[in-house]
Amino acid sequence: MLKPEILDPQGQAVQRALPRLGFDGIADVRQGKRFELEVEGPVDDAALARIHEMAETFLANTVIEDFTVKVES
């Protein structure tokens, strides 16, 4: 997701459109990216550390974006 201090024109456009479309009560909308990675082998601490590094160096632009890594089965 874009860092909170970075302007998000896509999210703003969605937020402004919602009342027009009949959806009220949404205070803020932010739009971002999501990657689903399928890991070969066990998702242990070493694999998670590698994925964290991958996200930091390659998948996210950490100048303007934050990221979180979550494990789902």
Contact 1, 67 (CB under 8 A): yes
Distance CA 5, CA 27 (A): 16
Residue 45 interacts with a second copy (CB under 8 A): yes or no = no
- Which of 42, 63 has the CB closer to a second copy? 42
State the minimum distance, in angstroms, from the CB of residue 2 to a second copy: 10
Whichever of 9 and 25 has its CB closer to a second copy, that residue is 25
Q: CB of residue 24 vs a second copy: minimum separation in angstroms?
A: 8
β partners of residue 2: 65
